[in-house]
Amino acid sequence: MNSVRRAAIAGLALAGLFGVSACNTDALSKREAVVHFEAGAPASDHQAVLAACGHVSTNVVPEPMSTSSLPSDAVGNVRFRIDHANDRELNLLVQCIDKQPGVNGWDIPDLTN
């Protein structure tokens, strides 16, 4: 009887561990590159990056630009989904971004938090 109880407890513990580990799997699979612009870069620079770099690969997908009117939101409002992009495709994206006027840099934020 004692071994049956231990097996039941172990099974419940494993089920609980599996349930907790699967809670945030969407965040683990979502990856995006965020383009940062110089302060005062015109909206045309932002749109130009999306137009020029949104087609470097089928695994690099431009996201719609934010429609917020806050100047702080405009600094990083150009984003690309890179969930399935490999290193070569990321390199193509970065090279394209770096050639665009008004760009201050780019980042791939940690979305697991």
Cα Rg of the chain, angstroms: 21
Asked whether residue 7 falls in the same domain as residue 54, the answer is: no
Provide the domain limits for residue 41.
31-107
pLDDT tens by residue, 35-81: 999 988 898 999 999 999 999 999 999 998 877 666 656 667 899 99
Does residue 103 carry a pLDDT above 80? yes
Helix axes 43-53, 87-98, angle to 10 degrees: 150
User: 86-90: long-range contacts (C-beta < 8 A, 24 or more apart)?
Assistant: 86/59, 89/56, 89/57, 89/59, 89/60, 90/33, 90/60
**pTM of this prediction?**
0.69
Asked whether residue 37 falls in the same domain as residue 90, the answer is: yes
Asked whether residue 19 falls in the same domain as residue 39, the answer is: no
Question: Rounded to an integer, what distance in angstroms lies between the CA atom of residue 98 and that of residue 36?
Answer: 11
For residue 113, being part of any structural domain is answered with no
- Amino acid 40: pLDDT: 87
Asked whether residue 14 falls in the same domain as residue 35, the answer is: no
Asked whether residue 10 falls in the same domain as residue 36, the answer is: no
Total number of domains constituting the chain: 2
- Amino acid 76: pLDDT: 73
pLDDT tens by residue, 82-98: 999 999 999 999 999 99
